[in-house]
Chains A and B, each alone.
Chain A
Amino acid sequence: MIDWQPLWLSLRLAVLTTAILLLLGIPLARWLATRRRTWKAVIEAVVSLPMVLPPSVLGFYLLLAFSPAAGPGRLLDHWLNIRLVFTFPGLVVASVIYSLPFMVNPLLAGFRNLPPHLHEASRTLGKSDWTTLIHILLPNLRPALTTGAVLSFAHTIGEFGVVMMIGGSIPGVTRVASVAIYDEVQSTHYAEANHYALVLLALSFSILLLVYLINHRHNRSPL
């Protein structure tokens, strides 16, 4: 009988990460898109770093940073009683950092491709920046929002190196599906590994299919 817990954990992690990334990515991308300054290139580079960095490198430094022995981890542990190594909240924080470029980059491109007059037109109609963002900019960013959300979700489901470094493999806490597959293979339980792998494969394919179907419909009809 297949143990659904790792899959359930992966799903929870991905949903939470995507939700946090949406809230974080929209203002960040908007800010990066507004005015080009040289030092903003530095921020962009930092945001995109997880795309090129080996996950184990990122995981290693996060492990050091989150460690309650020193640095920021110690402050969190001491003042807020939050521990991020080998815990589920730690996985969420690491996943948000790890998948940040997959949310921010599509949104950034989306914001930059919006006609500049859209925002100005809304301002001349007496609307605040907040109203403009909610009623004008975001509805016209639907494809970018979908892409960002799906990529972040899929990327989080698929992460392995960072999770291993920062979460380990504690059943019910940090043992997500990708780690479970690795564990099962290590113990030569190929059938169990295959169960998880198949579910992940089917899930990934379904998500992508859904996105392409939505985009097709979106492109076909201007309405």
Chain B
Amino acid sequence: MNLQLKVRKTLHTASGIQLLDVNFQLEKGSLLALYGPSGAGKTTILRILAGLTDADTGFISVDNEVWLDTTHNTRLPTRSRSIGFVFQDFALFPHMTVRQQLEFALPATADRQTIDELLEMMELQELQHRKPTLLSGGQQQRTALARAIARRPALLLLDEPLSAVDDEMRFKLQDFIGKAHRSYGLTTILVSHYLPEIFRLSDEVIVLENGRIQKQGPPTRVFLEEKISSKFRTTGEIVDIQPADIVYIVSILSANSIVKVIATATERTGLHIGQKVMIASKAFNPIIIPIS
């Protein structure tokens, strides 16, 4: 087992005090997605793993190295943990060019060649002498990703890295994350509330709610009810519900396109705008099944 985590922490959220109490293990080389409503404790788990936030009690070990053990008063400082962290706002250093950010991140003993390799992998060669203010959101994200993996961390932590980019860019950036994860053999934890992303990238997903793990497993098992046999299925978010005669037309944003599906009045009662749903088709009209 590569990663073991068992932590408890009292969280002060907008909706009051809440206990974060999670316990999971992760195989080396896998990509885990943390999914759940905001305030569920996803980001806190990443920050505790990175040592940026303290847990009340807990134990963390990665590759048999203990990072945190509150019973023995062990707490490895952030800088001694082999991690890469991509912040939601990327946290690029404003005064450094793309190349300088990677040079700063690279340990002194590492091969300088790595920088060119990373620039090429993330398609940043043309931009390597630019500072962050002259980069687009997607370019900044790639720079942050390259910087985080420059030191070949044991654990890559991504805090909703794709929330600041548009859908088209998001799709492309998912490829970059997948590519980096595979070619560097990383163990990755990704915070995301975007289902298509989780389905595309992760081997395993943990659904967090109110600080506790609700479900855990491969995304297909966690999100899709196996009892529905279907020919076609996809996930999306309801953006509109319009009455039409005796039925309702539900518009669902799936990937980059809007799918319109007819729902009966009974089906419509369980649906609301903003809801995440699965669309599955058995024979003719697709049926809509809520998944959150």
Judging by beta carbons under 8 Å apart, are B83 and A135 in contact? no
Task: Indicate if A40 sits at the interface (CB-CB under 8 A).
Answer: no
Give which listed residue, A121, A127, A135, contacts B91 with CB less than 8 A. A121
Q: Does B209 contact A (CB under 8 A)?
A: no
Structural contact, B79 and A117, CB atoms closer than 8 A? no
Are B95 and A126 in contact, CB atoms less than 8 angstroms apart? no
Please state if B79 and A128 are interface contacts (CB–CB under 8 Å).
yes
The CA-CA distance from A178 to B147 in the complex, in Å, is 53
Please tell me which one of the listed residues B79, B89, B147 contacts residue A123 in the complex, with CB atoms under 8 A apart.
B79
Q: Are B91 and A125 in contact (CB under 8 A)?
A: no
Q: Are B151's CB and A125's CB within 8 A?
A: yes
Q: Chain B contacts of A53 at CB under 8 A?
A: none
Closest to B85 in A: A124
Interface string of B58-95 (1 = CB under 8 A from A): 00000000000000000001111001110101011111
Q: Is residue B32 within 8 Å, beta carbon to beta carbon, of the partner chain?
A: no
Q: Return chain A residues, CB-CB under 8 Å to B104.
A: 125, 127, 135
Of the A-B pairs whose beta carbons lie under 8 Å apart in the complex, a sample of 7, sorted by A's number, is A117-B91, A120-B50, A122-B93, A123-B52, A125-B147, A125-B150, A139-B95
What is the interface of chain A mostly: helix, strand, loop, or mixed? helix
CB distance from A114 to the nearest CB of B (A): 10
**A124-B85, A126-B79, A222-B134 given. 19 additional CB < 8 A pairs?**
A115-B89, A117-B89, A120-B78, A121-B85, A121-B92, A121-B93, A123-B52, A123-B78, A124-B50, A124-B78, A124-B83, A124-B148, A125-B79, A125-B150, A135-B104, A136-B93, A139-B95, A140-B94, A223-B131
CB distance from A144 to the nearest CB of B (A): 14
Closest partner residue, chain A, to B134 (CB atom) = A222
The B-contacting residues of A in range 166-223, CB under 8 angstroms, are 222-223
The answer to whether the Cβ of B37 comes within 8 Å of any Cβ in the partner chain is no
- List chain A residues, Cβ under 8 A from B133: 222
**CB–CB B87/A127 < 8 A:** no
Contact of B79 among A115, A127, A136, A222 (CB under 8 A): A127
Q: How far is the CA of A24 from the CA of B62 in the complex (A)?
A: 40
Determine if B151 and A126 form an interchain contact, defined as CB atoms under 8 angstroms apart.
Answer: yes
Which among B80, B93, B105 is the interface contact of A118 at CB below 8 angstroms?
B93
When distances are taken between beta carbons in the complex, the residues of chain A under 8 Å from B178 are none
- CA separation between A127 and B85, bound complex, in Å? 13
A129–B78 alpha-carbon span in the complex (Å): 11
CB nearest neighbor in A for B95: A139
Contacts of B148 in A (CB 8 A): 124
In the assembled complex, the CB of B122 is this many whole angstroms from the nearest CB of chain A, namely 17
**CA A58 to CA B290, docked complex, whole Å:** 72
- Number of interchain pairs (Cβ within 8 Å): 55
Judge whether B80 and A126 touch: CB under 8 Å.
yes
Query: Please, what's the 1-or-0 string for A135-152, where 1 marks a CB less than 8 Å from any CB in chain B?
Result: 110011000000000000
A217–B104 Cα gap in the complex (Å)? 26
Q: Is the CB of A120 within 8 A of B52?
A: yes
Distance between Cα atoms of A140 and B91 in the complex (Å): 13
In the bound complex, how far is the Cα of B118 from the Cα of A114, in angstroms?
A: 28
- A124 and B80 form a contact (CB under 8 A): no
A residues near B274, Cβ cutoff 8 Å: none
Q: How far is the CA of A121 from the CA of B89 in the complex (A)?
A: 11
B107 in the interface (beta carbon within 8 A): yes
B147's nearest neighbour on chain A, judged by CB, is A125
Name the residue in B80, B84, B93 with the highest tally of chain A Cβ atoms < 10 Å from its Cβ.
B93
A172 to chain B, nearest CB (A): 44
Measured between beta carbons, the chain B residues less than 8 angstroms from A124 are 50, 52, 78-79, 83-85, 148
Q: Which residues from A are CB-within-8-Å of B52?
A: 120, 123-124
Q: How far is the CA of A55 from the CA of B156 in the complex (A)?
A: 56
Report A-chain residues with C-beta under 8 Å of the C-beta of B150. 125
Considering the chains assembled together, what is the distance between the CA atoms of A117 and B83 in angstroms? 15
Please indicate the chain A residues that have their CB under 8 angstroms from the CB of B87 in the complex: 117, 120-121
Residues of chain A with a CB closer than 8 A to B107's CB: 126
Docked Cα-Cα span, A139 to B134, in Å, equals 18
Nearest A residue (CB) for B78: A123
Kindly state the separation between the CA atoms of A125 and B148 in the bound complex, as whole angstroms.
7
Complex CA distance for A115 and B91, rounded to whole angstroms = 8
In the complex, what residues of B have CB within 8 A of residue A121's CB?
Answer: 85, 87, 91-93
A115 / chain B contacts, CB cutoff of 8 Å: 89, 91
Q: List chain B residues, Cβ under 8 A from A136.
A: 93
